[in-house]
Chains A and B, each alone.
Chain A
């Protein structure tokens, strides 16, 4: 009966592993339940103290180095008092802030915060001073007049962003980014807040309905491909000229060589 004694005297070698796994499942489950509970509480309540408190914590941990502990601005970053929720939602929501590095302008990158954290930051900054708010969905869903939007876009935006919204170069390394994959809400926020070197287009310059039309036009351009065939990046005569000089003339040279070569 040596065998049975051994069985009772020693634990199975997998027992430790099983116990550990059980413990982890319980801890993880409890944490998930708890954190989803807090998330549900904080869900987009602009005026709630909870949201603002959360936003303040995020701000002090991630933004205060440049913008100051109270968002009053330092030598490295501007004051954010009065920029409004729209500015924060744009800059953080498109990944431009927190800034990757100093340069001619902040570059777009994958956003660092979740939508909820972005909103918390936005409402915290909005609580510091009045500023443009995040626009209502009805203004950014592309349900306006594309023709009116196109005229306004040509007058106000096309000189920098290109008439097809393909973007373009500015001075000293700055550039106007392409608008082809930008969400309606970010386009709206950019117009009201004037991020980086973009001028501000307030509601008395381009009314909210006109802004909706501009967004409608950009969505239309995205959804309807160019009737002229290859866009070549919609960059206009330079891209088209380069293409035809290289490939068109290349083809002509190749055919000329073939015509004059003796048949073998």
Chain B
């Protein structure tokens, strides 16, 4: 209350100074403004039913303590539910029951507390209107002068302005201090390899057989019937012991067979497919989601994340959506035994754009 009293006197002082500064107009020319803001004061006090009717007050009291008892009940129930509905192994249904009953108990405990306290405050605690006056923001002139003096004194004592060498070396040290944190980001990529190189190349190489995901069994061109979609990884990836996911994230390929007459191939890429079988990177060129929603009749490939659409019949050019580049094509051929092999790695980096991508 002392705080409020203080602010009241400050406000009163401010008011009186305003009156002193107000321009005094000559009686002949003064216009008396009638729309100046007037403090409307408090609205008339409306007593609550709990103020007037002791029965209602009793009832509100009952409601409040019932809510608190319910809260206790909820807490106890949550403890009991933990023991009554244990999560047994090999039963996913038990997780649901356990979570639901503990959750119901905890909800009851917290809501009972919250609603009880608010209802107590609204219906039973004293109901009086109070004004909380605003404090002036600035300090008094003396306080301001004192603060300024502290600054100028410490500047004089430390010589921050005068000793410019010390000051500038301190600023330099502060600038250098966060640099190690920035450099540590390099550690997100393997130490012995350039990140740009890693992003530009995949596991595919000349002669690598195309294998089924996830078994890693190589497939023959004859296995791929028209209308098929095969999810492909390079042979050997399934057996990798280290960095398997990193390699798979770059090398995943979708293999499709279309009627050869339905493929519109650029002359320089005609040798990249085999009898209507085409292989494209599964990594979207927008932000790298796996694009694999293949429609065998329209030859559309849809990316589920942002609805980019690629036309497989036209070298996976973008026909809709935010992707900017077609999906990279993997040049394929058939080896002596009839297995599908890659002619080379992808001829461009797969996936989304990055800083150094040309």
Q: Does A259 contact B (CB under 8 A)?
A: yes
Nearest B residue (CB) for A104 = B298
The complex places the Cα of A174 from the Cα of B300 at a distance, in Å, of 11
The complex places the Cα of A22 from the Cα of B296 at a distance, in Å, of 60
**Contact in complex: B309, A171 (CB < 8 Å):** yes
**Contact in complex: A200, B290 (CB < 8 Å):** no
Q: Are A159 and B223 CB-contacts (below 8 A) given A170-B295, A194-B296?
A: no
Secondary structure at the A interface, as helix, strand, loop or mixed, is loop
Q: Are A159 and B292 CB-contacts (below 8 A) given A172-B298, A199-B228, A200-B225?
A: yes
Q: Does B212 contact A (CB under 8 A)?
A: yes
Q: Does B317 contact A (CB under 8 A)?
A: no
B49 CB to closest chain A CB (Å) equals 6
Residues 205-221 of chain A, each 1 if its beta carbon lies under 8 Å from chain B, else 0: 10000000000000000
Residues in A with CB closer than 8 Å to B230 are: 205
**Contact in complex: A263, B123 (CB < 8 Å):** yes
**Contact in complex: B320, A202 (CB < 8 Å):** no
**Contact in complex: A204, B223 (CB < 8 Å):** yes
Number of interface residues of A (CB under 8 A): 33
Q: Are A197 and B213 CB-contacts (below 8 A) given A156-B231, A262-B122?
A: no
**Contact in complex: A227, B298 (CB < 8 Å):** no
Q: Does B322 contact A (CB under 8 A)?
A: no
Residues in B with CB closer than 8 Å to A196 are: 297
Residues in A with CB closer than 8 Å to B224 are: 205
Residues in A with CB closer than 8 Å to B338 are: none
Kindly identify, within residues 218 to 248 of chain B, every residue whose CB is under 8 Å from any CB belonging to chain A: 219-220, 223-231
The 9 closest A-B pairs by CB, nearest first: A199-B229, A197-B295, A204-B223, A263-B122, A227-B92, A200-B227, A227-B95, A159-B292, A200-B228
Q: Does B302 contact A (CB under 8 A)?
A: yes
For the complex with contacts A228-B96, A264-B48, 10 further pairs of A-B residues with Cβ separation under 8 Å are A152-B214, A156-B229, A156-B231, A171-B295, A199-B227, A199-B256, A202-B225, A205-B212, A224-B92, A224-B93
Tell which of B50, B96, B212, B213 touches A227, judged by Cβ atoms closer than 8 Å. B96
Q: Does A11 contact B (CB under 8 A)?
A: no
A79 CB to closest chain B CB (Å) equals 13
**Contact in complex: A197, B123 (CB < 8 Å):** no
Residues in B with CB closer than 8 Å to A174 are: 295, 298
Nearest B residue (CB) for A263 = B122
Q: Does A7 contact B (CB under 8 A)?
A: no
Q: Does B159 contact A (CB under 8 A)?
A: no
Q: Does B304 contact A (CB under 8 A)?
A: yes
Residues 238-264 of chain A, each 1 if its beta carbon lies under 8 Å from chain B, else 0: 000000000000000000001100111
**Contact in complex: B50, A263 (CB < 8 Å):** yes
Residues in A with CB closer than 8 Å to B92 are: 224, 227
Residues in A with CB closer than 8 Å to B295 are: 170-171, 174, 197
Q: Does B80 contact A (CB under 8 A)?
A: no
**Contact in complex: A159, B304 (CB < 8 Å):** yes
**Contact in complex: A199, B296 (CB < 8 Å):** yes
Binding site for B on A (CB under 8 A): 151-152, 155-156, 159-160, 168, 170-172, 174, 176, 194, 196-202, 204-205, 224-229, 258-259, 262-264
Tell which of B213, B223, B302 touches A155, judged by Cβ atoms closer than 8 Å. B213
The complex places the Cα of A34 from the Cα of B22 at a distance, in Å, of 114
Residues in A with CB closer than 8 Å to B118 are: 258-259
Residues in A with CB closer than 8 Å to B309 are: 171
Nearest A residue (CB) for B60 = A263
A138 CB to closest chain B CB (Å) equals 22
Q: Does B293 contact A (CB under 8 A)?
A: yes
Residues in A with CB closer than 8 Å to B300 are: 170-172
The complex places the Cα of A200 from the Cα of B227 at a distance, in Å, of 5
Q: Which of B118, B294, B295, B298 has the most CB of A within 10 A?
A: B295
Residues in B with CB closer than 8 Å to A198 are: 296
**Contact in complex: B99, A229 (CB < 8 Å):** yes
Q: Are A160 and B96 CB-contacts (below 8 A) given A202-B225, A205-B223, A259-B118?
A: no
Tell which of B96, B256, B292, B296 touches A226, judged by Cβ atoms closer than 8 Å. B96
The complex places the Cα of A233 from the Cα of B206 at a distance, in Å, of 46
Q: List 20 A-B contacts (CB under 8 A).
A: A155-B214, A159-B290, A159-B292, A172-B298, A174-B298, A176-B293, A194-B228, A196-B297, A197-B295, A198-B296, A199-B227, A199-B229, A200-B296, A204-B220, A229-B100, A258-B118, A259-B122, A263-B122, A263-B127, A264-B48
**Contact in complex: A197, B48 (CB < 8 Å):** no
